[in-house]
Amino acid sequence: MRIAVTGASGLIGSALTTALAADGHDIVRLVRRAPKSGAEVRWDPQRRALDPDALTGCQAVIHLAGAGVGDRRWTDERKKVLYDSRVLGTATVAAAVAAMDTPPGVLLCGSAIGYYGDTGDRWVDEDSPPGTGFLADLVQDWEAAAEPAAAAGVRTAFARTGLVVAKDGGAWGRLFPLFKAGLGGRLGNGRQFWSFIAMHDEIAALRHILDTPALSGPVNLTAPEPLTNREVTAAMGRVLHRPTLAAVPAPALRLALGEFAGDVLGSQRVRPKRLMESGFVYAFPEIDQAIGAALGS
């Protein structure tokens, strides 16, 4: 199958394209520089530029591009970058897909469980309403930007991803060095729920969505049982055989991260209802398994 992918060089995109290519799929990478080969297509999300003809023959389009949410402190300028990279990028891809003479069978867009806001101890799933705050508002606009593709009859799905347990990037990419050095500990009071997913299961779930015609709209990509930050901290200590006595108080996080600290300290108890109901089987559903898999053990 010929598959176009944005964000192919990112944490999830690189792992996904490697897996798809290994199975013989023809990958077309959308890049924002001059193409280096016939397997690359240039696009410019800021200028809403993507030639629909460049996607000819693609049976699926996967849109994962977006600036890193936790990479920098949230200034007004940074929030605009986060918003534009997702909303303008999605609108650009969706418009190109809708304009194709023969559209792909599916558009799979990256999304986030930030849609639900701070849920406290309350369970949420794909039928739950949106939360409040910058990320919740961003995700709503992000997903809405794909409407042209859906209106054109393309199956459009949103992978609302949780915290991916990976060694080389994302939240865990920052946590592993600290815990290995014996400096790991809970964040704030540690009672906030973290809805995590092993990188292996993230990639498998994305491929499951591609291959499951019944899946469209939002699909939560998280492990079946979220854990509190305190429980995750204990698991990191168990797997890495390190103490976890350090703790970062909430005021220090707010000082370091600004507005983003509210999301770090917030709680999201997410149930992947649609993924489980569609028959998806997790390889690493438990946190100790997910951490071990990320470390290659």
Q: What is the helix, strand, coil percentage profile of the chain, to 5?
A: 45, 20, 35
Residue 131 region by backbone torsions, left for phi larger than 0, else alpha for psi between -120 and 50, else beta:
beta
142: enclosing H helix or E strand: helix 134-144
284 neighbors 291 (Cβ within 8 angstroms): no
Distances (CA, A) of 65 to 6, 11, 83, 219: 5, 10, 12, 18
129 neighbors 181 (Cβ within 8 angstroms): no
Check residue 255 and give its pLDDT: 64
pLDDT in tens, 186-195: 989 999 999 9
pLDDT in tens, 124-133: 999 999 999 9
Please enumerate in sequence order all residues whose Cβ is within 8 A of that of 13, keeping only pairs 6 or more positions apart, or say none: 5, 6, 7, 62, 64, 65
Q: What CATH number does residue 97 fall under?
A: 3.40.50.720
Picking from 162, 140, 130, 111, the residue whose alpha carbon sits closest to that of residue 270 is 162
- What does the alpha-carbon distance between residue 154 and residue 59 come to, in Å, rounded to a whole number? 11
Is the model's pTM score more than 0.85?
Answer: yes
pLDDT in tens, 205-245: 999 999 999 999 999 999 999 999 999 999 999 999 999 98
Domain membership of residue 214 as a residue range: 2-294
Comparing 263 with 227, the larger pLDDT belongs to 227
Number of domains in the chain: 1
